[in-house]
Chains A and B, each alone.
Chain A
Amino acid sequence: MILLQLAADGLLLGAVYALFSSGLTLIWGMMNVINFAHGDFVMLAMYVAFFAFTLLKIGPIFFVPLAAMALFGLGVLVYVALVRHVMRGPMLAQILSTFGLALFLRYAALWAFSANFVSLPDNLVGGVYQLGGIRLSASHLLAGGTALVLTLGMHLVLTRTDLGSRMLAVSEDRVAASLVGIRAERMQALAWGLGAAATGVAGGLIVLFFYVSPEVGNAFTLLAFVTVCLGGFGSVPGALIAGLLIGVIESFSAYWLGPATKDVVVFALFVVLLWVRPQGLLGRA
């Protein structure tokens, strides 16, 4: 029974990792830019949701889209004002720019919202489900389910729609795409916006069961990078599989080997896998 519960918890946790990483995958894959401010995007989305609930008294049905819209705006703004100018520069300038952005966002949040931990009422998305002895919380289920839907949706948009193929074309070869009349700038701004919006959805759902503080992004960031890299850069389904895998590995290794060593297992497996298969699980060689 405990094994089943562990597996279920691991899968749900993994779905949250996948959800958390989905926006990062898109931005990273489309533009080959590492967004070091990714965790802080999620933090902002969580605050948007939190204040929408406490000040405007609106529930998750409204505040999740609100967070997505707010983050879409932020993503486009960051692209236009910052990323656009550093994208074709050296990789180090890109790293510097999003690192500076991360510091700025995190400490602006500290300034505005103080360092205190806040959280939404526990019963906002109600209760605990029992499935033959396995207990699952509704908010985790909601987040996990959304992760699946969001990942699938993003995958379909990228592979099945005209917009998606234009975005992919820009990411493959910017110059060639411009030659056939695709407006590369606009596509990339859109990719940032969509990536950030997905992050917004993630933040809006994670806040249902997690605390918020200006530093909360730290808890997820490193694992998000590992998730994206393990899945293969830019591979949306890859990130989902990687997220689920990491969740389950963490869950079992925490139980058997002790929670302090669960990250050791994840990182060690990650390094070894990179050495053996550098392009990630589903990445293109």
Chain B
Amino acid sequence: MSITRRGILAVPALAALPAMAEAAAPVRIGCIEPLTGNAGSAGQSIKQGITLVLDIINTPHPDLAPLPLAATSGLPRLGGAKVEVIWADNQGSPAVGQSDALRLITQDHVVALCGAYQSSITLTASAVAERYGIPFVAGESVAANLTQRGYKWFFRTTPYGPDFGKLYLDFLAYVAATGLAVGKIAIVHENTDYGTSVAGSITEAAKARGRTIAQTISYNANGTDVSPQVLALKNGKPDVVIFVSYTSDSILYMKTFHTLGYRPPIVIGDDSGFSDPAFPKAVGNLAQGALNRSAFVPGKPDSITYKINALFKQETGRDLDDTTARAMQGFFVLCDAINRAGATAPDAIRAALAATDLPASRLMTGYKGVKFDSSGQNTLAYSLVIQLQGAAYVPVWPLAEATAKLALPFKGWT
């Protein structure tokens, strides 16, 4: 309220010094992330990543030039206005996320929202944005139902469930062609919305190709022990085990594999837990050869991605993970749209978002581009298959983007 009023009072002054006054008014974006609670470590990492994007946008970074807004300072088409983020902690609760969205819209007068990591919270927070007519860009949430609501103000840059299912089955088809058995697939998933929805998408993708999933194990990620699950796998002897797990449980699985002396031939971890920087640190020596998906790989030393990773590492001391990179990518897309809109009116930003057409060369993630369909889903979202070799993950498939050779079967420990 007060800010709008101040804006109106400032009109005569604006007329006198249009360019300067305009440059001084920052563009505010609200970011809702889990800064505390079970997903706190992911939310904190996203905050660090987006803070880095802010710096790239607000100060000149000519060396990152292909990225939108990197070379210039601020948003050029808004008179060089700086971008500012108001952070809100969703505390892992759908109701709190909704309060956050309302507060950011009505009190902080943000021009757009991004977030909110957990799909359930993205669901409730974006419902508020929809009612107020404020664009919401989801860079990380993957539940399929988010883009099935017929919303007008909701956009998602990240690949989601069905994309992952397709990726894994394409990859396994490739592996089968090299002569390894991939007939029996087991899915082990944690039983909240993330695990259940991604496991469901993989199962459906398999069904669409006339394949069945031999074994599905659903478990509670907060559990203290996973040996019965590992014994069940050991008994079922699958060729491929796909984990859809959070951090603590992924770590427990690898430790229990070691304790029980079990090495499935192919282990795929679906992002999340396997991508947490804590995972290679804690059990890297037990999980050699584990496969994972990622939309981000640092790549060759002079690439943009490599430079961004270096900047991130300089700030935080660790490599950029997939989730953080996808959130950063979503934020880039949003800022690019605000700049193209040349205005902060919600309608203008929405129109610019809907017209987004970024080629792969202007992205920091491995997407084939960003272009939204009528539901707000990015149709060019894409991921790579990466493999834990030594201390870090390296891209191994598709071959065009691979920097290391796929090493199968799963080695685990030595």
Contact = CB atoms under 8 A, between A and B. Distances in A.
Partners in one complex: yes
Interface of A: 2, 5-6, 9, 13, 16, 107, 110, 114-119, 122, 128, 135-137, 140, 209-211, 213-216, 218-220, 223, 250-252, 254-255, 258-260, 262-263
B258 A251 contact: no
Interface residues of B, number: 42
B217 interface: yes
B220 A9 contact: no
A218 B222 contact: yes
A211 B283 CA distance: 11
B228 A107 contact: no
A183 to B, nearest CB: 39
A2 B235 contact: yes
Nearest to A115: B40
A134 to B, nearest CB: 10
A258 B218 contact: yes
B40 A259 contact: no
A76 to B, nearest CB: 29
Question: Nearest 5 pairs between A and B by C-beta?
Answer: A115-B40, A254-B228, A259-B219, A117-B278, A255-B228
A210 B43 CA distance: 22
B11 interface: no
A123 B273 CA distance: 21
Contact of A117 (B41, B228, B255, B258): B41
Given A16-B224, A117-B276, A136-B259, A259 B217 contact: yes
Given A2-B235, A211-B251, A122 B224 contact: no
5 contacts: A9-B231, A140-B259, A210-B224, A211-B248, A260-B218
B391 to A, nearest CB: 14
A122 B286 contact: yes
Interface in B179-228: 191, 217-220, 222-228
B210 to A, nearest CB: 26
A136 B285 CA distance: 19
Contacts of B251: 117, 119, 211
Contacts of B392: none
A263 B276 CA distance: 27
B228 A9 contact: yes
A115 B228 contact: no
Given A6-B231, A255-B231, 5 more contacts: A117-B276, A119-B278, A119-B282, A218-B38, A258-B219
B44 A220 contact: no
B232 interface: yes
A9 B217 contact: no
A258 B226 CA distance: 11
Given A215-B40, A218-B222, A135 B276 contact: no
Contact of B41 (A9, A114, A250): A114
